[in-house]
Amino acid sequence: MPAIPDWFALFSPDKVAHFGAYGVFALLLSVLIFDHSVKRAISRAILIAAAYGVGMEMLQAVSGTGRSFDYVDMVANLLGAMLGGLAFWLLKKITK
């Protein structure tokens, strides 16, 4: 039976690092993808960042390197990506 994730782990230094890294990742992706539609750039950047995070967790589970699959990492990645999208949106609002 799978273990129940410890959601309070979202506040651990490791998860905060995931959050920050994926925030920067999504922000930079939004800048790269931007083509006159802020909403489309943000949604694509969040989707790509989240998919990358899920893929990395899956690879960790099967890589044999001692790393493990972690749902809490994926949530931290998604929340960070959403923060990056929000930061891009705010940046575009401010620079209009």
pLDDT in tens, the chain (96 residues): 667 778 787 788 999 999 999 999 999 999 999 999 999 999 999 999 999 999 999 999 898 888 888 889 999 999 999 999 999 999 999 997
Q: Is 95 exposed, middle or buried (0-12, 13-18, 19+ CB in 10 A)?
A: exposed
Q: Are 88 and 38 in contact (CB under 8 A)?
A: yes
In total, the chain counts a number of residues equal to 96
pLDDT of residue 4: 79
pLDDT at position 25: 97
Q: What is the pLDDT of residue 1?
A: 65
Domain ranges of the chain: 13-94
pTM: 0.87
